[in-house]
Amino acid sequence: MQEKCWKDKMLFRYLILLILLPIKSFALIEVDITRGNLSPLPLAVSPLSIDEKSREGFKKILKKENIGSEISMVVENNLKQSGLFNPLNKDSFLQKPDIANLKPRFEDWNLIKAQALITGKVTLIDNKLRVEFRLWDILAGKEMMALAFTTVPSNWRRVGHIITDKVYERLTGEKGYFDTRIIYVAEEGPKTKRIKKLAIMDQDGFNNKFLTLGNELVLTPRFSPTNQMVTYLSYFRNLPRVYLLDIETGMQEVVGDFAGMTFAPRFSPDGKKIIMSFAKDGNSDIYTMDLENRVVERITNHPSIDTSPSYSPDGKYICFNSDRSGYQQIYTMNNNGKNVKRISFGKGLYGTPVWSPRGDLIAFTRLHKGKFYIGVMRTDGTGERLLTENFYQEAPSWSPNGRVLIFYRETKSNSEGEGFSAKLWSIDLTGYNERLVETKTDASDPSWSSLLSN
Amino acid sequence: MNLKKILKNGFLILVASIILTACATQKKSTTSTGQMQGDVYTGTDTVKYLASGVPDRVFFATNETILTTASRDTLRKQAAWLRKNSNIYVVLEGHADERGTREYNLALGERRANSAKDYLMTYGISADRISVLSYGKERPVDSGSSPLAWSKNRRSVTVKAN
């Protein structure tokens, strides 16, 4: 695993981005992502054209019949999953991919009601994958953007994700979230003896890899904003402690030297600190540890349970949950522990607050009358909106653009444990577009990475 | 006169309704299964014994870490047994049910195990002989999603460490 991860890093570094043509045209098509999008934008993703020689070459290297179609399928699937776009059926396309990429006949695409068109070309040059793509505005009859990438062939799925990010950004005006990964806990076995492993996959569920073997219980992995490090809770030798894992080298270490359980870790936005809870004599408080100089700081000092801390994106504030009022509620404070304010006041219990990467909202789990909700509120606690209700769900994690939340959901079981499942789900901030994120095993505790490329 | 009568009748109705409510509450708290008091498990399905007559676990109400009368009784028996077997070390494993967020439940399990630990200590067991380990909701003993199953899972279990 170690070697493979290292290779990934090299591949990533190899990805060269060239801007082919300057973009002059105005965005005439615009997709509004601030409200529930009930009429997704119809667009056509033409298979990327490929010459015979390149096709044969990639077939040998990647064992894929037509890598041009494969990449366009990655893009198409991403756009569809976003809920903002409606990729049209390829059977209705009138123009061949190579000709469309040179100059689309806009009338033909207009006829099938496409408002935008993505075309492109794949070539094999010196054993490298070169992909160019263009985004066309069909109604205006104009090219909106054109880009080319050169990378190693095995990176082909990432090229599809980067193309999607570029298209998404051009059409919505906001950064995408497709060239990202999810770290989560893969689960197997009966509820009473559950086996849990750290696992990582691309945002669309591909390239799944296990990072631990399942010998010890692992929980709550969280990405560093710099992406190569993960912090999580491991029960190694039956001592539940916060660990740091380098996903490229596989190196692991315990965070700090605490005489008791440490848990609920997260990185600070600059990736330099870990914030977590330390439980001692029945009391959990919030601590930070600086990863450079190993200095440990105590942030809260209260006889109640203080846990699930999360920094604001500027690092100045912390949200957390505490039962100091008697029951679990959400609080905010300055990063030094001063100025503690309760912000959740609705009925029931509130937990797992996570500050949005945009800074304006806090996502949370709420338990009320036997139902679990994922919701968002402003950072002062006003404007609470519940996005989804279920038997059990918790632990939202934000997409890097702050538009989508991923969380996990568990189903009811009988006394034999039958009927139980744990799965990852995603939902838009608008409360629309709720989707199952498919994983081979049961899954929980998802954490979304930042964009791998910018 | 009339008013007095009305008041008297009203008082009687009030008393009667209090009694009736009391009965209803009583009935509710000794639930149909007879294995729960309030929502604290009182059965013995899952209980193991450290020695004859020394149950290994105590149970908690939802979101609570306070020891019930029955729990204190169990812990006094454990303390007596530990005093007699002074070479034995124990781990108190604290658990929560599945109806809470994972991280909070880890803290709750730790607090439950510690309230058992504190009680053992007041009965003369040295802190050196007791360690605490929280599993949160990770190791239920009953796989079910029912109030009874959850009540069995909200527990602190005393496990021999040597």
- List pLDDT tens digits, range A336-348: 999 999 999 999 9
* Judgement on whether residues A416 and A280 belong to the same structural domain of the protein: yes
DSSP string for residues in A129-149: EEEEEEEEETTTTEEEEEEEE
**pLDDT: is B25 or A113 the higher one?**
A113
ipTM score of the complex? 0.91
Predicted pLDDT at A33: 57
Point out the residue among B63, B101, B144 whose CB comes nearest to the CB of A365. B101
Residues 6+ apart with CB under 8 A from A26: none
pLDDT band, residue B4 (cuts 50/70/90): low
Determine the Cα angle at A8 with ends A5 and A9, to 5°. 95
Burial class (CB in 10 A: 0-12, 13-18, 19+), B123: middle
* Judgement on whether residues A221 and A166 belong to the same structural domain of the protein: no
Predicted pLDDT at A417: 85
Write out pLDDT tens, residues A33-70: 555 556 899 999 999 999 999 999 999 999 999 999 99
Contacts B100 to A, Cβ<8 Å: 328, 349, 351, 367
Distance from CA of B73 to the nearest CA of A (A): 21
Pairing of strands A229-234, A241-246: antiparallel
Predicted pLDDT at A34: 59
Distance from CA of B140 to the nearest CA of A (A): 5
* Judgement on whether residues A156 and A211 belong to the same structural domain of the protein: no
* Judgement on whether residues A153 and A196 belong to the same structural domain of the protein: no
Residues 6+ apart with CB under 8 A from B37: B29, B30, B68, B70
Q: How far is CA A394 from CA A278, A422, B63, in A?
A: 21, 11, 17
Distance from CA of B111 to the nearest CA of A (A): 4
Does A135 map to a domain? yes
* Judgement on whether residues A326 and A236 belong to the same structural domain of the protein: yes
Contacts B104 to A, Cβ<8 Å: 305, 307-308, 321, 323, 328, 351
Q: Rounded to an integer, what distance in angstroms lies between the CA atom of residue B136 and that of residue B100?
A: 9
Predicted pLDDT at A15: 43
- The token pair at A269 is 């936005």
- Sign of the CA dihedral with A27 first, then A28, A34, and A40 last: negative
Q: Rounded to an integer, what distance in angstroms lies between the CA atom of residue B113 and that of residue B60?
A: 11
* Judgement on whether residues A271 and A353 belong to the same structural domain of the protein: yes
* Judgement on whether residues A135 and A193 belong to the same structural domain of the protein: no
Burial class (CB in 10 A: 0-12, 13-18, 19+), B27: exposed
> Dihedral (C-alpha) A18, A20, A25, A27: value to the nearest 10 degrees?
-40
Chain mean pLDDT for chain B: 86
pLDDT band, residue B65 (cuts 50/70/90): very high
DSSP B30: B
- The token pair at A60 is 């040998």
**Residues in chain A where the model's pLDDT stays below 50:** 1-27
Predicted pLDDT at A2: 44
The topology (CATH level 3) of B31-160 is: 60s Ribosomal Protein L30; Chain: A; (3.30.1330)
Chain center to CA of B36: 10
Q: Are B62 and B97 in contact (CB under 8 A)?
A: yes
DSSP string for residues in A54-105: HHHHHHHHH--S-HHHHHHHHHHHHHHHHSSEEEPPGGG--S-HHHHHH---
Q: Rounded to an integer, what distance in angstroms lies between the CA atom of residue B132 and that of residue A102?
A: 69
Point out the residue among B104, B132, B141 whose CB comes nearest to the CB of A328. B104
**pLDDT: is A131 or B23 the higher one?**
A131
Distance from CA of A239 to the nearest CA of B (A): 8
Does A454 map to a domain? no
Last residue of a domain, one of A172, A204, A232: A172
Q: Identify the domain containing residue A293 by its residue range.
A: 182-448
Give the residue numbers in B contacting A (CB under 8 Å), as ranges.
63, 65, 98-104, 106-108, 110-111, 113-115, 118, 132-134, 138-146, 149
| CATH code of residue A88 | 3.40.50.10070
* Judgement on whether residues A236 and A348 belong to the same structural domain of the protein: yes
* Judgement on whether residues A94 and A156 belong to the same structural domain of the protein: yes
**Using N-to-C axis directions, what is the helix angle for A52-62 and A67-82, rounded to 10°?**
80
Cross-strand partners of B91: B131, B159
Q: How many domains are there within chain A?
A: 2
Q: Are B78 and A251 in contact (CB under 8 A)?
A: no
Write out pLDDT tens, residues B85-96: 999 999 999 999
* Judgement on whether residues A153 and A249 belong to the same structural domain of the protein: no
User: What b/e string do you get for B65-95 counting C-beta neighbours within 10 Å, with b at 16 or more?
Assistant: bebbeebeebbebbbbbbeeeeeeebbbbbb
Does A453 map to a domain? no
* pTM (two decimals): 0.89
Last residue of a domain, one of A172, A202, A222: A172
Predicted pLDDT at A415: 84
Does A177 map to a domain? no
Last residue of a domain, one of A172, A201, A229: A172
- Asked if residue B31 has pLDDT above 70, the reply is no
* Judgement on whether residues A86 and A21 belong to the same structural domain of the protein: yes
DSSP B89: -
* Judgement on whether residues A212 and A244 belong to the same structural domain of the protein: yes
